[in-house]
Chain A
Amino acid sequence: MSGVVLDYVSKAFGEVVVLGGFDLTVENGELVSLLGASGCGKTTVLRLVAGLERPDAGRIGVGGKTVADAGTWVPPEKRRIGMVFQSYAVWPHMNVFDNVAYPLRVAGLPKAERAERTSAILELVGLGGLAKRRPTQLSGGQQQRVALARGLVMEPDVLLLDEPLSNLDAKLRVRMRKDIRRIQQETGFTAIYVTHDQDEALAISDRLVVMDAGQIVAQGTPDEVRSHPFLLPDDDE
């Protein structure tokens, strides 16, 4: 059973065609990085899988079920996919606990179970003592951990990460990507990880997918890519 399948998916915004017949398969439990310069369509792929955008054509499958094609549309709130946003998207009017527990509250879980699972996930991402803090009292790295915990608390089969570390400083980035990889291997979720940082992609992924102008131009495991560096795009950073 595949984790995520995009089958000849097209998407245009007005006149601009971002994806034209895009194919991608992510295996169950695999962490795939989408690598490419800004505007190459990698974030659009992520938002299509999330259900935040609707494809113009093609089929999208998650966990063996079709979530979008010509006759099917499953809205994002019904897809049970976790997502971590570039801007963290931590809600400023809720404390850390309420942010992370929100998906459980939506699902209507009893209070005791909510508290238990939220505390467990906060421990996992290393925010054990900060449950009552307001987001404004957190550092960027801590906010990122809140966003990660919120994405994982429902134990989703798929987690989408949209340049999750790009707003952090270099040292913190290295630590965070190690933590994300560790948690992914412990819990075994399927992940699509969008980034424009090659080192990050090489360090964290099972497989790298290099995109340009809405097309896959190269892909391979980190080892394959390291031995064929010409596969990588020019680093524009």
Chain B
Amino acid sequence: MQKGPLTSGSAATFTGAACVVLVFGIVPLLFVLLRAVTNPGEFTATLGNPSVLEAATGTLRLALYTTGIAVVLGAPLAWLTTRTDVPGRRAFSPLLTIPYIVPPYVAAVAWIQLANPQAGYLNQWFGAGTVDIYSMTGLAWVLGLSFYPYVFLTVRSVLENADPSLEDAARMSGAGTWRVLKDVSFPLMRSAVLSSAGLVFMVSASAFGAPALIGTVANERVLSTYIFEELMAWGPDAMARVAGLSCLLFAFVLIPLVLRSRAHATLGGKATRRARLPLGAARAPLGILLALFVLVAIVLPALAVIVSSFLRVGTDLSPSNFTLEHFALLLRGDTLDAVLTSLWLAALAATLAVLVGGIAAFFRTRAIGGRVLATLTALPLATPGTVLAIGLILFWAPFGVANTIWVLLIAYVAKYAALAMRPVGEGLATVDPALPDAARMSGARGVFLVRTIWVPLILPSIMAGWFLVFMPCFSELTMSVLLVSPGIETVGTRLFELIEYEAPAAANVLATVVLVLVVGSNILLRVLSRGRYGV
């Protein structure tokens, strides 16, 4: 593709998208850095504070534990379901990816029902004190179960695309099953495991919802929750300090990027139908283990949330405790408002994100500076939501926007435009360049050309991008709790409010709504994109 001078219309479009990316995401992030370095005293003073050190080590410990759990679960599950004849692999595979789309705070709500030390279902069944979710281990367990699909999906796609003749060649060279695994299969998976482990480290270091719901009770603080508490307690006075802490949090997220190995596995050949490794005597026990995992990691948490939403109080399963009263919440007042607000905000954010991400994807290969714009569009997604939210407060407060609902829209578009950029970019790449060329030769240009040719040709990718943004926006919590002003609530902040202060039992209703909506959207997305997007 040749990069040439753009027409004035194209240049205006490109500039418009670039401006949105800059003022919505990049400049606010620079403001965080600026605020931190211009008040170095404030920040260095906090470093002497033992609770800051505690929060920093908390973040590091949580990210390491979570990454460990995610790798230990994700990689073997991927290998087991793609390369072996383990029973139930076809039935369980779609279930194994569900945690990928469910926000971790919903998982936290579920595990609080299952494993709180007093009345959790598991402690009722197996005796009090069997498991305690209110601990660093419990927190890492919840996040590990939420984030293992990052490893699972990456390793699975490598295993599905790797040339099977690599393993066959080893077998022909006389290697037994174990030798083939050790010498060929594991090294093949290594770079996928490392890169996805880096991703898990990043998202678990950034996580806010589960650490706020579980860690705070367990008295285990991490940077994201510490920043939140500081800001709630001190307000704008804490800004310089908080900006410094945000830089510290951002530095944690950068660790895997710095460490990432430059070596990439080269995967030759097109995947062919291959014989699965017969597990022999291990087949039945491994099948039972797989079923048990699906039960504990997916089915039980989902049931815990859904069943609890029908209970008047606590986790008492006696018939007299069943009620529909919490669902009445959905029909009135604050909770209904929160659901409606999240619906239209997420829909609007998804539409804008598709527009901005789509423009960035289009010009990536077509304009000088297109690659830079694509990178800048992707950056906020890798940034912890907490840091982005602090930046948005710093940058937008002088304009009077930080106290309105629009700052939420800005936050969602800034953070998630990258999720729309990818499918739209992939869609654009599949279009034969002669199709738009033919339209230009017919006299079409500008908006008309985009509307009559480009959009219809890549409509499935555009819809996929829309849903990929809509889902996380609808349930967004991390940025929303920092950015909502009095009188405005979203699904995430309402749920947070209910469980922290008002009525924990009622929070299950909202968690159920989120669960149903994201799983439903995901199914719709898979159908619309014929299985290309969604999990």
Residue numbers of A with Cβ under 8 A of B are 13, 50-54, 75-78, 80-83, 85-89, 91-93, 102-103, 106-107, 147, 150-151, 154
Determine whether the beta carbon of B456 is less than 8 Å from that of A150.
no
From A13, A82, A85, A102, B452 is in contact (CB under 8 Å) with A102
Residue of A nearest to B7 (CB): A75
A93 to B452, CA, bound (A): 9
Closest partner residue, chain B, to A81 (CB atom): B441
Residue of B nearest to A52 (CB): B437
A154, B443: Cβ atoms under 8 Å?
A: yes
Complex: A13 Cα to B449 Cα, angstroms: 26
A91 CA to B440 CA, complexed, in Å: 13
Asked if B453 and A77 sit within 8 Å, CB to CB, the answer is no
Can you report 29 A-B residue pairs in the complex whose CB atoms are below 8 A from each other? A50-B437, A51-B440, A76-B437, A76-B441, A77-B441, A77-B449, A78-B443, A81-B441, A83-B437, A85-B434, A85-B438, A86-B434, A87-B432, A87-B434, A88-B434, A89-B432, A89-B437, A89-B438, A91-B435, A91-B453, A91-B457, A102-B444, A103-B442, A103-B443, A106-B443, A106-B448, A107-B443, A147-B438, A154-B442
Tell whether B4 is near chain A: CB-to-CB under 8 Å.
Answer: yes
Task: Please give me the residue from chain B that is nearest to A50 by CB atom.
Answer: B441
Alpha-carbon gap, A77 to B437, bound state (A): 9
Give chain A nearest CB distance to B479 CB in angstroms. Answer: 38
* CB–CB B432/A54 < 8 A: no
A89 touches B7 (CB 8 A): no
A75 near B437: Cβ-Cβ < 8 Å: no
Q: Please measure, in the bound complex, the distance between the C-alpha atom of A76 and the C-alpha atom of B438, giving whole angstroms.
A: 10
Q: How many angstroms between the C-alpha atoms of A151 and B448 in the bound complex?
A: 19
B442 and A102: CB pair below 8 A? yes
In the complex, what residues of A have CB within 8 A of residue B445's CB? 75, 77
In whole angstroms, what is the CA distance A150 to B457 when docked? 18
B296-320 interface (Cβ within 8 A of A): none
Give the distance to chain B from A54, nearest Cβ to Cβ, in Å. Answer: 6
| Bound-complex Cα distance A52 to B443 (A) | 12
Whole-angstrom CA separation of A92 from B431 in the bound complex: 11
Question: Closest 10 CB pairs between A and B?
Answer: A89-B434, A103-B442, A89-B438, A93-B456, A106-B443, A85-B434, A83-B441, A77-B445, A76-B440, A77-B443
Report the minimum CB–CB distance from A227 to chain B (whole Å): 37
Contacts A77-B444, A82-B441, A91-B453 given: A53-B2 contact, CB under 8 Å? yes
A-B contact count (CB 8 A): 67
CB pair B439 A102 closer than 8 Å: yes
B435 closest partner in A (C-beta): A89
Name the B residues within 8 Å of A85 (CB-CB). Answer: 434, 437-438
Query: Smallest CB-CB separation from B439: which chain A residue?
Result: A102
Q: CB-CB < 8 A to A80: which residues of B?
A: 443
* Chain A residues with CB under 8 A of B432: 87, 89
Known: A75-B7, A83-B438, A86-B434. 15 other contacts (CB 8 A): A50-B437, A52-B437, A52-B441, A75-B440, A75-B445, A77-B449, A82-B441, A89-B438, A91-B453, A93-B456, A106-B443, A106-B444, A106-B448, A150-B442, A151-B441
Taking CB as reference atom, which chain A residue is nearest B459?
A93
Q: Which residues of A have CB within 8 Å of B443?
A: 77-78, 80, 103, 106-107, 154
Does the CB pair A52–B442 fall under 8 Å? no
A150 touching B438, Cβ below 8 Å: yes
Docked CA distance A75–B5 (Å) = 12
Contact of B440 (CB < 8 Å), options: A52, A53, A88, A147:
A52
A77 touches B440 (CB 8 A): yes
* Interface core residue of A13, A81, A91 (most chain B CB under 10 Å): A91
Query: In the complex, what residues of A have CB within 8 A of residue B435's CB?
Result: 89, 91
- Compute how far the CA of A154 lies from the CA of B448 in the bound complex, rounded to whole angstroms: 18
A92 — which chain B residues lie within 8 A by C-beta? 457
Hey, which chain A residues are within 8 Å of B438, CB to CB? 83, 85, 89, 91, 147, 150
Which residues on B sit within 8 Å (CB–CB) of A106? 442-444, 448
Task: Kindly state the separation between the CA atoms of A167 and B513 in the bound complex, as whole angstroms.
Answer: 54
Residues from chain A with a CB closer than 8 A to the CB of B437 are: 50, 52, 76, 83, 85, 89
Residues of B441-481 at the interface with A, using a CB-CB cut-off of 8 Å, are 441-445, 448-449, 452-453, 456-457
Chain B residue with the shortest CB-CB distance to A92:
B457
Closest to A54 in B: B4
Are the CB atoms of A13 and B441 closer together than 8 Å?
Answer: no
Q: How far is the CA of A86 from the CA of B435 in the complex (A)?
A: 11
Q: How far is the CA of A91 from the CA of B451 in the complex (A)?
A: 13
A102 to B452 CA separation, bound complex (whole angstroms): 9
Closest to A76 in B: B440
Report whether B2 and A13 are in contact in the complex, using a CB–CB cutoff of 8 Å: yes
B219 smallest CB distance to A (angstroms): 59
A47 to chain B, nearest CB (A): 8
Instruction: Name the distance in Å between A106's Cβ and chain B's nearest Cβ.
Output: 4
A93 to B460 alpha-carbon distance, docked (Å): 12
Please name the residue on chain A nearest to B2 by beta carbon. A13
Question: What's the minimum C-beta distance from A182 to chain B, rounded to whole angstroms?
Answer: 23
Which of chain B's residues have a CB closer than 8 A to the CB of A151? 441
Give bound CA distance, A207 to B219, whole Å. Answer: 87
CA distance A89 to B436 in the complex (A): 8
A103 to B443 alpha-carbon distance, docked (Å): 6
Q: Please report the C-alpha to C-alpha distance between residue A78 and residue B440 in the assembled complex, in whole angstroms.
A: 9
CB-CB under 8 A from B434, the residues of chain A are: 85-89
| Chain A CB within 10 Å, residue with most, of B434, B444, B445 | B434
In the bound complex, residues from chain A placing their C-beta under 8 Å from that of B4 are 54
Question: Whole-angstrom distance between the alpha carbons of A171 and B377 in the complex?
Answer: 52
| Nearest opposing residue in chain A for B437, CB measure | A52
Contacts of B2 in A (CB 8 A): 13, 53
- Quick check: B440 and A93 within 8 Å, CB to CB? no
Q: Mark B267-297, 1 if CB is under 8 A from A, else 0.
A: 0000000000000000000000000000000
